[in-house]
Chain A
């Protein structure tokens, strides 16, 4: 004999399944609404994820230079390099010798390299290039790093593009903020639509709700099948939305490949990571449950 605690889940699942089968139109509307919302939210998430990747690539290329005095011995340089590597936020330290600096200059000033021809000595200083950890690629962290490193003996000058760093940090924050705001508006709008759709379903079954109350069904007992229905609709909506997003991404990519390459350079667009995909589907299920809960609220179940 199945235990008493098992019989109710069985009833809830059976009732939710019946509800889904008996209301294909309202259920379909909920699924389509959630799918379209998640398609929009997902598109935006895709855009943001790719923009962040581009910004991260720019960030990886960003280096802070500590220009060195000319008279450093190898031992001084090794000591200085160790001290700089231990400074806050420094991920890696690369040495650029005077010769390497000259080579770089020549390479980046093709046609104008003759500018240095008349000079007997190499005027360019050696430097240490500091690659920063991603979380330290902001103006405040750079200020702190400059304060820590600038006074080290052997460093002639410390240079970093503070404006560029602020701009980079601001761009990431702006993209994230806009994405969150638009995502929140979309989710809220979907929640309202789903709530009203499910409310219609509850209204269509008001006689059933009233009879369940009369035979002693508690609010929870009556509500659970509706919440399960909402979760199922949300889950299906999430999967449909994700599938549409995936299809659109792969259909649209070849069409816009040329423009994207121009815009993104060597960063090729990629689809959402598995965790983000799972999150999107979970948001769908959550929307369904929340929509059901809101539709059942405000005393619609009596009591």
Chain B
């Protein structure tokens, strides 16, 4: 287990995400991830960084059971992803919010319907759904665009929409792959504050980013991957802003 620096803030049985010597290989002899072990506790906010191709996206995909590890074990919200039956995957995913790098929005549905999707899969009553979607859109500043379709939104608006969908269900774990990549500095901070706010309310947050300014500004725990290996795991340097 490589922990360069200090032990994670929330180690042990209380962790919501635990990786034990996880490796992933798509081609024999090459490793997208190699022997990675780490833990993420309730309310913890971790920046996942590293150069392109370091394995950040692969690691996130394994956490929400979109990929299976080639070796090792991944425990997410008490479920062993490696042994999860296909029919149990949706139930796990409903407890995880994911912001994809390419947003993955439904182009034929409105902004409101895209955000509401996360509530539809858990059968949220219509009135509650409407209220929560509106509140979430207001938080990301898209309430006036709720009847528009994603393709009519700017890149930044689409990104905020993806974040709204990931957060509307109050997930226990939030995985965000470059969530501020298309945003201007002001919006970046607004969105990061939203994510930090989710962490403050108990969500375990993983944010993959190349933005060192952001990492510096927030001073949270940083996990750095290089060539698929855990190169650095540094603790919180200062409390959330």
Q: Which residues of A contact B (CB under 8 A)?
A: 1-8, 10-11, 18, 22, 207-208, 210-219, 221, 302-303
Decide yes or no whether B120 CB sits under 8 A from chain A.
yes
Within the complex, the shortest CB–CB distance from A40 to chain B, in Å, comes to 35
Contact A4–B117 (Cβ < 8 Å): no
Within the complex, the shortest CB–CB distance from B57 to chain A, in Å, comes to 13
Contacts of B122 in A (CB 8 A): 216
A-B contact count (CB 8 A): 78
Instruction: Give complex CA distance A7, B116 in Å.
Output: 12
Within the complex, the shortest CB–CB distance from B102 to chain A, in Å, comes to 10
| Complex partner residue of A219 from B87, B92, B95, CB under 8 angstroms | B87
Contact A211–B87 (Cβ < 8 Å): no
Interface centre among A7, A213, A302 (most CB of B within 10 A): A7
Q: A1-B128, A2-B127 are contacts. A217–B121 as well, Cβ < 8 Å?
A: yes
Q: A1-B128, A3-B125 are contacts. A216–B104 as well, Cβ < 8 Å?
A: no
Instruction: Give complex CA distance A213, B90 in Å.
Output: 7
Contacts of A8 in B (CB 8 A): 120, 123
Within the complex, the shortest CB–CB distance from A246 to chain B, in Å, comes to 37
Q: Which residues of B contact A (CB under 8 A)?
A: 64, 66, 86-87, 89-96, 98, 100, 104-109, 117-118, 120-129, 165
| Complex partner residue of A214 from B91, B93, B123, B124, CB under 8 angstroms | B93
Instruction: Give complex CA distance A215, B116 in Å.
Output: 11
Contacts of A18 in B (CB 8 A): 108-109
> Which DSSP category, helix, strand, loop or mixed, fits chain A's interface?
helix
Contact B125–A215 (Cβ < 8 Å): no
Contact A7–B165 (Cβ < 8 Å): no
Instruction: Give complex CA distance A302, B93 in Å.
Output: 14
Q: Can you spell out 23 A-B residue pairs with CB atoms less than 8 angstroms apart?
A: A1-B125, A4-B125, A6-B125, A6-B126, A8-B120, A8-B123, A11-B120, A18-B108, A207-B104, A207-B107, A208-B108, A211-B105, A211-B117, A214-B98, A215-B118, A216-B92, A216-B96, A216-B121, A218-B91, A219-B87, A221-B90, A303-B86, A303-B90
Contacts of A11 in B (CB 8 A): 120
Instruction: Give complex CA distance A2, B129 in Å.
Output: 10
Contacts of A7 in B (CB 8 A): 120, 123-126, 129
Instruction: Give complex CA distance A8, B107 in Å.
Output: 21
Within the complex, the shortest CB–CB distance from B11 to chain A, in Å, comes to 28
Instruction: Give complex CA distance A6, B124 in Å.
Output: 9
Instruction: Give complex CA distance A212, B90 in Å.
Output: 10
Instruction: Give complex CA distance A271, B121 in Å.
Output: 47
Contact B127–A4 (Cβ < 8 Å): no
| Closest chain A residue, CB of each to CB of B109 | A18
Q: A216-B121, A221-B90 are contacts. A1–B127 as well, Cβ < 8 Å?
A: yes
| Closest chain A residue, CB of each to CB of B120 | A11
Contact A4–B123 (Cβ < 8 Å): yes
Within the complex, the shortest CB–CB distance from B59 to chain A, in Å, comes to 16
| Closest chain A residue, CB of each to CB of B103 | A211
Within the complex, the shortest CB–CB distance from A268 to chain B, in Å, comes to 53
Interface centre among A211, A212, A303 (most CB of B within 10 A): A211
Q: A211-B104, A214-B93, A216-B94 are contacts. A5–B127 as well, Cβ < 8 Å?
A: no
Instruction: Give complex CA distance A4, B124 in Å.
Output: 6
Identify 11 new A-B residue pairs, CB closer than 8 A, beyond the known A215-B121, A221-B121. A1-B128, A4-B125, A6-B125, A11-B120, A207-B104, A213-B93, A214-B104, A216-B121, A219-B90, A221-B90, A303-B87
Top 7 A-B pairs ranked by shortest CB distance? A216-B94, A216-B93, A303-B86, A218-B90, A11-B120, A216-B90, A216-B121
Contacts of A217 in B (CB 8 A): 90, 121
Contact B66–A214 (Cβ < 8 Å): yes
